[in-house]
Every structure is written in structure tokens, then in C-alpha cells.
């Protein structure tokens, strides 16, 4: 009754991805899981060798090097340890083969002859500086292919980049980003923003007449933390950049276009995405 009367305090809109949208995510999520397995197995092999004070490179002749490796006193590695490392090496080979197969499937998924939303968005995003096919496919399947956004705040909220202030009486403390929402895209955002800023063209001066490039530490810090930008504004440095606006309000997520020199970034001039644009 209250909701029908317009009371929104106890009700929140929930958008559930469709079965097809969930299915589109499986390939990229499998890639992330297998890549973690690859890192885990490599680290385990290196760790087991480090306990014996031995270092062996994980190259094609690893097994030959392993059987000839010696301890500090000149003796060979224990037999059971060698057997375990051989099994781990076999597992690592299988993981490598699976990664190779997934790369082929991913290239086929975004091939030019595919006209679905995911493939089209991925190809457009991969044309931007700092974004490859891997990152573009994650952004498309996890975020932009299955729902629309009215503004940058909605995008920041779904990946947990919104501020979380604490207020009690006269005391107000910013606790950092909320970290609620899609953790995969949030982790990707932190990796893409500095990379994109490093690849942008330098500009001669800023509005205050001081020479700088787009990898200016203050811009990078502002892209990482909205509160930092707000604090600098209060100190008199009125630069209109914050995490959501800089990273997500250009019409393409997280990547600044070439020529980012002014107070507000220019809109992306490339081919339009299939999903609603972020304003």
C-alpha cells in the first residue's frame, strides 16, 4: 500500500540478468578461474623448490632440470618431492593447454562476423587505448550488454565505486568506496584507469599555467578516490574530476580519450556502443 502511494523508503529496484546474459558470462569467468589456477600451480612449484633452496626455471626442459637439481650438500632432491613436482608440472601443462583453447574461443566469440550485442560492444571497446579484448569482454558481459544506465552514478554504484560517508553529530568521516556490487569490474577498473592515463597524449599546461602531463599524480589520485578530489576542491584546486565522472562518463567506460587536458573530458568519438550511453 505504501509503495503504491509512492513511498520508496522500503523498496529498491532489482534488475536480474536474463538466462542468456548469465550464459554469456561463462566463457570470460572460466578464463579468470583458469588463469588463477595457472598462477596457483606455478607458485606452488616455486614454493616447493624454495623450501629446498633450489631454483629451477619453468621451461620446456623443466623435468630434466628437476631430476638433475641438487641440494646444498650435493645430493639430489628427495624422490617423493620430485614425483609431486612432476605431477604439478603435468597439471600446469594441462592448464596451459586449456588457456590456449579459451583464447581461441574468445577470439571466435568476438569475431567480426558476430553481430550480437556482446561481440559488437567488445570490438568497439577494444579499440580504445588501455583496453584489450580480455578487458572489453569482461566489461561487456558483466556490465553493459545486459542493462542500461541513466548516468555515471548508476555505473559507479553497480561496481562499488560510490563513497560511504559516516556521519555522527558534528563528525563526518569518509570511509572510502563502498566495494558493493560487481567485484570483477571493480578490480578491472582499478587496473585500467592508471594504464589508460599513462597512454594518453601529454598536454603542455593546465589551467593554472603549470606544465604537466596526463599522468599527473593528482589526476591519477582523483581517479582512484572521489574523496581526494572533494578535499582538493575545498583547498582551492577546482578541477572537475572524480572517480565516476572521469572513469565512466565519457560514453565508454574507464578509458580517457586522447587529448584529455581540460576541466571536463571530451566525449568518446568512436563508434557508438549498442547499450545506452553513459552520460
At 62-105, the pLDDT tens digits run: 999 999 999 999 999 999 999 999 999 999 999 999 999 999 99
C-alpha–C-alpha distance, residues 127 and 258, integer Å: 12
Number of domains making up the chain: 2
Give dist(CA 36, CA 59) in Å, integer. Answer: 19
213 and 235 housed in the same domain: yes
In a shared domain, residues 71 and 202:
no
For the full predicted model, state whether its pTM sits above 0.75: no
The residue among 57, 81, 109 that closes a domain is 109
Distance between CA atoms of residues 190 and 130, nearest Å: 12
Judgement on whether residues 250 and 171 belong to the same structural domain of the protein? yes
81 in the same domain as 176:
no
133 with 253, same domain?
Answer: yes
Domain-terminating residue out of 109, 128, 146: 109
Q: What is the mean pLDDT of residues 130-140?
A: 91
Residues 24 and 96 in one domain: yes
Q: Is residue 9 part of a domain?
A: no
Domain containing 174: what range? Answer: 113-279
Same domain? For 93 and 160 the reply is: no
**269: nearest Cα among 254, 279, 258:** 258
| Residue 182 covered by a domain | yes
Q: Is residue 3 part of a domain?
A: no
| One domain for residues 211 and 249 | yes
Domain boundary among 92, 109, 126: 109
Question: Within this chain, do residues 261 and 158 fall inside the same structural domain, yes or no?
Answer: yes
Based on the domain organization, do 209 and 263 belong to the same domain?
yes
Greatest CA span in the chain, whole angstroms?
A: 83
Q: What is the Cα–Cα distance from 162 to 226, expressed in whole angstroms? A: 8
For residue range 206-263, list pLDDT tens digits in order.
444 444 444 444 444 444 444 433 344 334 433 333 333 434 333 333 344 344 444 4
Do 101 and 157 share a domain, yes or no? Answer: no
**3-state SS assignment for residue 174:** strand
Q: How far is CA 54 from CA 1, 49, 82, 89, 91, in A?
A: 71, 5, 12, 16, 21
Amino acid at each position: 500500500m505504501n509503495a503504491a502511494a509512492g513511498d520508496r523508503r522500503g523498496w529498491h529496484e532489482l534488475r536480474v540478468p536474463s538466462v542468456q546474459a548469465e550464459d554469456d558470462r561463462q566463457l570470460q569467468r572460466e578464463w579468470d578461474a583458469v588463469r588463477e589456477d595457472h598462477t596457483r600451480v606455478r607458485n606452488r612449484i616455486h614454493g616447493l623448490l624454495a623450501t629446498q633452496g633450489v631454483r629451477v626455471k619453468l621451461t620446456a626442459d623443466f623435468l630434466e632440470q628437476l631430476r638433475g637439481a641438487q641440494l646444498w650438500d650435493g645430493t639430489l632432491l628427495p624422490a617423493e618431492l620430485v614425483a609431486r613436482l612432476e605431477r604439478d608440472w603435468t597439471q600446469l601443462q594441462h592448464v596451459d593447454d586449456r588457456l590456449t583453447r579459451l583464447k581461441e574461443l574468445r577470439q571466435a566469440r568476438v569475431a567480426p562476423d558476430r553481430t550480437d550485442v556482446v561481440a559488437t560492444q567488445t570490438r568497439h571497446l577494444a579499440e580504445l587505448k588501455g583496453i584489450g579484448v580480455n578487458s572489453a569482454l569482461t566489461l561487456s558481459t558483466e556490465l553493459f550488454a545486459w542493462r542500461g544506465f541513466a548516468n555515471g552514478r548508476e555505473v559507479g554504484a553497480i561496481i562499488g565505486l560510490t563513497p560511504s560517508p559516516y556521519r555522527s553529530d558534528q563528525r563526518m568521516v569518509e570511509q572510502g568506496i563502498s566495494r558493493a556490487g560487481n567485484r570483477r569490474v571493480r578490480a578491472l577498473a582499478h587496473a585500467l584507469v592508471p594504464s589508460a592515463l599513462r597512454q594518453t597524449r601529454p598536454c603542455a599546461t593546465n589551467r593554472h599555467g603549470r606544465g604537466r602531463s596526463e599522468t599527473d599524480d593528482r589526476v591519477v589520485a582523483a581517479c582512484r578516490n572521489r574523496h581526494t578530489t572533494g578535499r582538493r576542491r575545498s583547498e582551492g584546486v577546482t578541477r572537475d574530476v572524480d572517480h565516476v565522472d572521469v572513469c565512466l562518463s565519457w560514453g565508454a567506460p574507464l578509458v580517457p580519450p586522447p587529448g584529455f587536458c581540460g576541466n571536463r573530458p571530451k566525449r568518446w568519438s568512436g563508434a557508438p556502443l549498442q547499450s545506452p550511453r553513459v552520460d
